[in-house]
Amino acid sequence: MADFDKLAAPVGTTLDRFIMMRQQDFLYATGELSQLLRDIALATKIVNREINRAGLINISGTYGAINVQGEEQQKMDVIANIRFIRALKNGGETCVIASEENDTIIDTEKYQGRYVVAIDPLDGSSNIDVNVSVGTIFSIYRRMSPINTPGTIEDFMQGGTQQVAAGYIIFGSSTMFVYTTGHGVNGFTYEHSLGEFFLSHPNMKIKDAGKIYSINEGLAMEMTEGVKAYLDYCKETDKETYRPYSCRYIGSLVADFHRNLLKGGIYIYPATKKLKTGKLRLLYEAFPLSFIIEQAGGKASDGINRMLEIKPTTLHQRTPLYIGSKTMVEKAEEMLRIHEAVKTSPQPLSKVERG
């Protein structure tokens, strides 16, 4: 009988049921946030279908337009953006949306909605052509503007500590939906034949120290001395700290972040000579992933300041990002501080100057 039980073992808790069960985490829960997360999950299923058949119906490759970031849009960028915006508009819980693909905020005309959503609809979309994992990143805030009025850009300027939920979806060998509402991090894997997300990674935690560092070392000559020093540190041999570390860089933020969350490691996209304020976007990349990593026991900063405490001033603001295992991020910050102090300290007087 036991063998038959194994054959018919339960597949687990669905995302919908889990969201409903977790409503009790919120004292004044009305169900709107739960429905908003389900709206995002629905759009995820549709985008997942489009990605899986992209090569068959000619929706991979470039779209022929440049987005607000100055980046060449991929066809799937446009499709994913449409799908998520449409799902959020139809859901009715979101009064305004900020998307990486749009210059300004998007008015949903659902003025009774209590939430605003910042989203990167398809991170790493250029990798679809070569069958590499891509993802979606989202962040949710309670609106500050009055109910029954249009949402405003100020609704997005609250700061990372005011997020009520954040998550990412990774489209890879399997599709996973990972999110937090400030009560831990949970991951759900999509079961295609049933059309449901099932809880597969409950209470996700990152190792305090890992063996992986993720950075585009091709830009090393453009980086500061502090970053170069940390890279040298990663390559040194030290058995006590399990060095040298392994360099693993996919070039798809969600994929690199997801791997390091599961295995332990640090992801770095620093400021460079060319990109003095960094490349990654604060609102819909750095903030949501930082919320997730802190809930998983890790750390995120711009190399100096806690990421979630940085004050946003513009919709598409950019930032350096150091994120992952706590001790690894702290070591990177330490080396940045040391080299910045050396750079700004008074230079010793020459013999002539000393008299």
pLDDT tens by residue, the chain, 355 residues: 456 555 555 568 999 999 988 877 665 556 899 999 999 999 999 999 988 876 554 544 454 455 555 555 678 889 999 999 999 999 999 999 999 999 999 999 999 999 999 999 999 888 887 888 999 999 999 999 999 999 999 999 999 999 999 999 999 989 999 999 999 999 999 999 999 999 999 999 999 999 999 999 999 999 999 999 999 999 999 988 889 999 999 999 999 999 999 999 999 999 999 999 999 999 999 999 999 999 999 999 999 999 999 999 999 999 999 999 999 999 999 999 998 876 544 444 444 443 3
How many angstroms separate the first and last alpha carbons of the chain?
95
Could you give the domains of the chain? Answer: 11-201 (3.30.540.10), 212-344 (3.40.190.80)
Tell me if 237 sits within 8 A of 243, measured CB to CB.
yes
Tell me if 125 sits within 8 A of 134, measured CB to CB.
yes
Ranges of beta strands (E only) in the chain are: 62-66, 72-74, 94-99, 106-107, 115-123, 134-142, 163-171, 175-180, 185-191, 196-201, 212-214, 246-247, 266-269, 280-281, 299-301, 318-319, 321-324
* DSSP assignment letter at 156: G
Q: Are strands 246-247 and 212-214 parallel, antiparallel or unpaired?
A: parallel
Question: What pLDDT was estimated at residue 63?
Answer: 46
Question: What pLDDT was estimated at residue 83?
Answer: 96
In this predicted model, what pLDDT tens digit does every residue of 39-78 receive, in sequence order? 999 999 999 998 887 655 454 445 445 555 555 567 888 9
Using CB atoms within 10 Å of the CB of residue 11, give its burial: 0 to 12 exposed, 13 to 18 middle, 19+ buried.
exposed
Token pair 């990798």 is at which residue?
127
| Dist CA 333 CA 326 (whole Å) | 11
